[in-house]
Structure 1
Amino acid sequence: MSDAPITQDLVTIPRKLPEGGKINLVGLTRAGLRDALLAMGTPEKQVKMRVNQVWQWVYFWGVRDFDSMTNLAKDYRAKLDATFEIALPEIVSKQVSADGTRKYLVRIAGGHEVETVYIPEEDRGTLCVSSQVGCTLTCSFCHTGTQKLVRNLTAGEIVGQIMLARDDLGEWPEPGTGTGEQGPRLLSNIVLMGMGEPLYNFDNVRDAMKIAMDHEGLSMSRRRITLSTSGVVPEIAKCAEEIGCLMAVSFHATTDEVRNKLVPINKRWNIATLLDALREYPRLSNSERITFEYVMLKDVNDSDEDARRLVRLIAGIPAKINLIPFNEWPGSPYERSDWSRIERFADIVYKAGYASPIRTPRGEDIMAACGQLKSATERSRKSRKEIEAEVRSG
């Protein structure tokens, strides 16, 4: 089997938009911004300073108009305004769960939609970010997997989800103050666990996370960013080297027979191949440990023997195991494991020396929980029978 990177015939929307012909600054890396400012006519000797100034206005202060960039000369601001725009995806709707979880339906270029979820907790606020419209993986327990893949998100559409959430939370610092002067950050963590497989959109995800981690902008710590993959093995080492964030893997089974059904990418890179790649990740990325995501499905993967086999499989890998009670959705062929069964599974894993927290389901009342995301328009186009037929055929 070839370990060559996977390529997909997906269209990426160009940065230059047809209406007005302006280039969107959101999503440009520092190098990209430098090239764009030079092309606009910024003198070479000034460009480093101008990049820093514009970068801070866009990503630290959250400014959307060039007139507000008061440390730039008026004529330079006019040139910026004539050449560029600062545009985010559009929030079509927002739902707020009884537990405080916020789910945003976000419209991107081409009229496509993705979902972004903000989960408030006592010690953190986590944003679940999407990287693709739909998903190519068709994991049988996942609602998102029943929506066909449309295209990759651009770097601007990915980082734009972080920015629009900060808009909604009112978390941009006041001019002249720092983010730490207004108390703990409401949006402190990012998980690339929304719609799509992040490692099938590697370049755009990498650029977006580099922007998010830049200390003069959004300033998200790489240790507070977690990328979740279903197991795109050739890209795992690349992720360690070029992004360096924490890694989570959608594991969900302890035999190839079961994982082939739950996570079909396992037919290409089986459990042994995946684990070999994961053993190297903490060293390559200087990360503390791998998180193994494990959805608890009644009578499918939740036996005592599964728990013991899981412990044997991950031996030698610094790890924690997140046990996820299955979040049901219309037409799903699975049921959530009984709570006593989940606790028994967790106890076996814990006694073997691994942290095994049971994730509290969040946002279930607004279909915002893990595995439930799907664009509202796509959901509304299909009847329950159609969804069930897709599950059976998949």
Structure 2
Amino acid sequence: MTHPKLKPMPLSQPVELSPKPSLIGLTREEMGAALKEKGVADKQIKMRVSQLWNWIYVRGVSDFDAMVNVSKDMREMLKTHFTVARPEIVEEQVSNDGTRKWLLRFPPRGAGRPVEIEAVYIPEEGRGTLCISSQVGCSLTCSFCHTGTQRLVRNLTAEEILSQLLLARDRLGDFPDREAPQGTVMPAEGRKVSNVVMMGMGEPLYNFDSVKTALLIASDGDGLSLSKRRITLSTSGVVPEIYRTGDEIGVMLAISLHAVRDDLRDMLVPINKKYPLKELMDACRAYPGLSNARRITFEYVMLKGVNDSLEDAKGLIQLLKGIPAKINLIPFNPWPGTNYQCSEWEQIEKFADFINSAGYASPIRTPRGRDILAACGQLKSESERMRKTERLAFEAMMIANHGED
């Protein structure tokens, strides 16, 4: 098995080392203040912000010269002082199943260096899901997660979070008057990016303010206009911010659970030592708008001999009692150096049947993008890539486990 090569499509140009401030990710109030600072008259601010908002988020332009209903003088001023450019695409990989993974490079912030993150697009029947990162690296060190082996470098800004969505829509032809690259697998009808999940690199609730700003812009009805019911934020259990997420953002909630006992979860998801299961479940029960039509998703990675027994399944039912919930069972996705193995398929099905019989939906998530390390728990930026020997060992393991495609 070889990793798919880049499609013959133009990639973005390298980012500037000293970039101009971006208008992407600013609230309307912040955008208005930025324009006023550059001399735009007070009486024009509201109109100019409305124009820019439409061009950036409805039309998806990344060049001020494309804003044809903005005066030439205004466009020149914008080009001098601001940018709406996308991040650099360092690498674009396409899985055998149509999953696409982008390695993106952002310019330095302050005295920092350029940083890299990964975003993943998963095409499915009737929808297309974009998995977005919130941090460069991660500080949580969950023992089964590849991303957790990369140190935390910094939080992403609201601009950098939103830029992943804008870039994906660019590449997939999901803005007006755009065409998708030839051979792209995507939903037959409707939006190409219909769903967004904050499940990429990092813990979103450790970057609350930037995530909040980005998701409120993404769900703004006059812009990108994604329904909040099609945006899911996944957390490992930052309890105080779960309450704030419900009150201030209002998107769907997912909990990276993976264990039903504190002693085991302390090992798998170390944040549990700070916010144990009782506190986490109390926060879930208090999440605003919770109902059978607005359930919390609990993610549960299936680890052979670790958390996959029927006793664990019984404990899961007890733990979630009274919470409108859906349980996603995730076959463990291997990565180089891991000591964990995926549960046997027969055991996963037994686990799922037990959960289903208790009245909970418990779909088994189909692994996507494993061959390009794009599956759940596998994301890791290029600056932390595996060595060649590790990559060859990983490919050999995948062939042994799943056969040559």
Q: TM-score, normalised by structure 2?
A: 0.86
The residue that corresponds to 2:183 in the other structure is none
The residue that corresponds to 1:135 in the other structure is 138
In the alignment, is residue 52 of structure 1 matched against residue 58 of structure 2? no
The residue that corresponds to 2:5 in the other structure is none
| 1:66, distance to aligned residue in structure 2 (A) | 1.7
Q: State which drifts further: 210-219 or 344-353.
A: 210-219
The residue that corresponds to 1:297 in the other structure is 303
The residue that corresponds to 1:391 in the other structure is none
The DSSP-based 3-state class of the residue aligned with 1:218 is: coil
| 1:88, distance to aligned residue in structure 2 (A) | 1.8
Q: Is the 8 A contact 2:292 2:324 kept in 1?
A: no
The DSSP-based 3-state class of the residue aligned with 2:289 is: helix
Match of 1:250 among 234, 237, 256: 256
Write the letter of the residue equivalent to 2:329.
Answer: L
Q: Is the 8 A contact 2:130 2:196 kept in 1?
A: yes
Write the letter of the residue equivalent to 1:378.
Answer: E
Aligned pairs for 1:22-41 (under 5 A) are 22-41=20-39
Write the letter of the residue equivalent to 1:225.
Answer: I
Query: Cα gap change, 1:186/1:49 in structure 2, threshold over 3 Å: closer, same or farther?
Result: same
The residue that corresponds to 1:202 in the other structure is 208
Match of 2:370 among 352, 364, 370: 364
The residue that corresponds to 2:78 in the other structure is 80
User: Quick one: distance in 1 between partners of 2:189 and 2:72?
Assistant: 34
Q: Is the 8 A contact 2:291 2:324 kept in 1?
A: no
The residue that corresponds to 2:154 in the other structure is 151
The DSSP-based 3-state class of the residue aligned with 1:321 is: strand
Write the letter of the residue equivalent to 1:201.
Answer: N
Write the letter of the residue equivalent to 2:322.
Answer: G
The residue that corresponds to 2:271 in the other structure is 265
Query: Cα gap change, 1:19/1:100 in structure 2, threshold over 3 Å: closer, same or farther?
Result: closer
User: Quick one: distance in 2 between partners of 1:377 and 1:21?
Assistant: 21
The DSSP-based 3-state class of the residue aligned with 2:61 is: coil
| 1:285, distance to aligned residue in structure 2 (A) | 10
Match of 2:217 among 191, 203, 211: 211
| 1:65, distance to aligned residue in structure 2 (A) | 1.8
Match of 1:315 among 316, 321, 342: 321
The residue that corresponds to 1:173 in the other structure is 176
Write the letter of the residue equivalent to 1:158.
Answer: I
Match of 1:61 among 54, 59, 73: 59
User: Quick one: distance in 2 between partners of 1:308 and 1:286?
Assistant: 21
User: Quick one: distance in 1 between partners of 2:124 and 2:19?
Assistant: 42
| 1:232, distance to aligned residue in structure 2 (A) | 0.3
User: Quick one: distance in 1 between partners of 2:385 and 2:192?
Assistant: 30
| 1:286, distance to aligned residue in structure 2 (A) | 11
Match of 2:128 among 125, 130, 153: 125
Deviations along 1:298-342, one digit per CA (max 9) or x if unpaired, are 110011111111011111111100000000111111110011110
Query: Cα gap change, 1:311/1:23 in structure 2, threshold over 3 Å: closer, same or farther?
Result: same
Write the letter of the residue equivalent to 2:161.
Answer: I
The DSSP-based 3-state class of the residue aligned with 2:119 is: strand
In the alignment, is residue 283 of structure 1 matched against residue 289 of structure 2? yes
| 1:174, distance to aligned residue in structure 2 (A) | 2.4
Sequence identity (%): 61
Deviations along 1:353-377, one digit per CA (max 9) or x if unpaired, are 1100000000001111000111123
Cα RMSD for the two superposed structures:
2.2
The DSSP-based 3-state class of the residue aligned with 2:272 is: helix
The DSSP-based 3-state class of the residue aligned with 2:286 is: helix
The DSSP-based 3-state class of the residue aligned with 1:145 is: helix
Q: Is the 8 A contact 1:198 1:227 kept in 2?
A: yes
| 1:226, distance to aligned residue in structure 2 (A) | 0.3
Write the letter of the residue equivalent to 2:346.
Answer: S
Q: Is the 8 A contact 1:225 1:245 kept in 2?
A: yes
Write the letter of the residue equivalent to 2:150.
Answer: Q
The DSSP-based 3-state class of the residue aligned with 1:174 is: coil
User: Quick one: distance in 2 between partners of 1:96 and 1:77?
Assistant: 37
Q: State which drifts further: 268-277 or 17-26.
A: 17-26
Deviations along 1:16-69, one digit per CA (max 9) or x if unpaired, are x99677321111111211111111222222211111111110111111222221
Query: Cα gap change, 1:21/1:303 in structure 2, threshold over 3 Å: closer, same or farther?
Result: closer
- Segments of structure 1 that go 5 or more residues without pairing to the other structure are 1-16, 176-181, 388-394
| 1:215, distance to aligned residue in structure 2 (A) | 1.5
Deviations along 1:258-279, one digit per CA (max 9) or x if unpaired, are 1000000000000001000011
Deviations along 1:101-152, one digit per CA (max 9) or x if unpaired, are 0011111123211110000001100000001111000000000000010100
User: Quick one: distance in 2 between partners of 1:46 and 1:68?
Assistant: 20
Write the letter of the residue equivalent to 1:97.
Answer: S
Write the letter of the residue equivalent to 2:289.
Answer: R
Query: Cα gap change, 1:78/1:97 in structure 2, threshold over 3 Å: closer, same or farther?
Result: same
Write the letter of the residue equivalent to 1:339.
Answer: W
The DSSP-based 3-state class of the residue aligned with 2:352 is: helix
User: Quick one: distance in 1 between partners of 2:177 and 2:390?
Assistant: 47
Query: Cα gap change, 1:227/1:376 in structure 2, threshold over 3 Å: closer, same or farther?
Result: same
